[in-house]
Amino acid sequence: MKKILIAGGTGFVGKRLVSFLAEQGYVIHVLTRKSMDHPSENIQFFKWNIEQQYIDKKAFDGVDVIINLTGANIAEEKWTKKRKKEIIDSRIKSINLLYQYVSENHLKINTFISSSGVGVYGAVTTAKIYRETSEMGSDFLASVCQIWETAAMKFQDLGARTVILRKGVIMGKEGGMLQKLTPLAKQGISVSLGSGKQFMPWMDLRDLVRLYALILSNPEFCGVYNAVATEQITMNDLSKTLLKSFGKKSFLPNVPAFIIRLLYGEMSVMLLEGSRVSNEKLKSTGFSFEFDTIEKSLSQ
């Protein structure tokens, strides 16, 4: 059975991906900072410490694919100078450690799949639809994504097929944005921010893990892909659909933009701005979405 090493496999996306791929017959080696018991023969945990530059060498036994999901949550805290450094370091140092270990030990890694975000295009609300070839933004989040992608692309130098997924907001009931918004929507409270006209590129978690499986089985995947659903929704659209899914309506106004700016400072731009992102390149590979509308995603 094919063995896959997953870094960052204990988070919101990682947990679902690990269990999904194990069900598909893969053996999953998960890098974690804490000692954990193996839940099954197909899933094994191995320790690593990025600051100490340590990885349990047994994690790489029989592995020729690495999936990287590491990175501190960009929306968890205000972007202080210290937090900005944590956001960058959590992404770059982990990739650099993986790269260094593979390179120094002359390991044969055939495929390296890493993450990025649609924030690479900049926190703006425009009529433009961004594609993988579009110019990148110049704000903090855009710069993080660019540094992140550059670090991942070094695996090409080792002969690895390198794939980067520029993800939108990942919708799943187990965590992420949806888990935070659901309690408010259940109470009939609007979850839209600012004008509500900002677009919010998104993808259902169930489609995302299926996409990873397709990338693993299809060697034609290579380079950068926007991992977003076809339906291009605004914050107002999300709020109305989420409320509707609980049989609710809200007559309350959106949370004013100035309050969001006071609460979150610089980070508020990622909440108040957003443009449409194309997934045409992804669909040209033959990938088909099971949850391509927000209503379908929220109702099942």
pLDDT at 1: 65
Alpha-carbon Rg for the chain, nearest whole angstrom, is 19
3-state SS class at 32: strand
CB 201 within 8 Å of CB 276: yes
CA distance 39 to 43: 6
Among the listed ranges 36-40, 44-48, 134-138, 200-204, which one has the minimum average pLDDT value? Answer: 36-40
| Among 285, 300, 266, 280, residue whose Cα is nearest residue 230 | 280
Query: How many Cβ atoms are within 10 Å of 158's Cβ, its own excluded?
Result: 15
Q: How far apart are the first and last CA of the chain?
A: 32
Cα-Cα-Cα-Cα dihedral sign, residues 27, 28, 29, 34:
negative
22 residue type, one letter: A
For residue 36, the model assigns a pLDDT of 73
77-132 pLDDT, tens digit each: 999 999 999 999 999 999 999 999 999 999 999 999 999 999 999 999 999 999 99
pLDDT tens profile 253-276: 999 999 999 999 999 999 999 999
Alpha-helical (H) ranges within 72-138 are 81-104
* Cα angle, residue 151 at apex, residues 71 and 12 outer, rounded to 5°: 20
* pLDDT one-digit tens code per residue, 7-58: 999 999 999 999 999 999 999 999 998 877 767 789 999 999 999 999 999 9
Instruction: Quote the pLDDT of residue 16.
Output: 96
pLDDT at 34: 81
Q: What pLDDT does residue 251 have?
A: 83
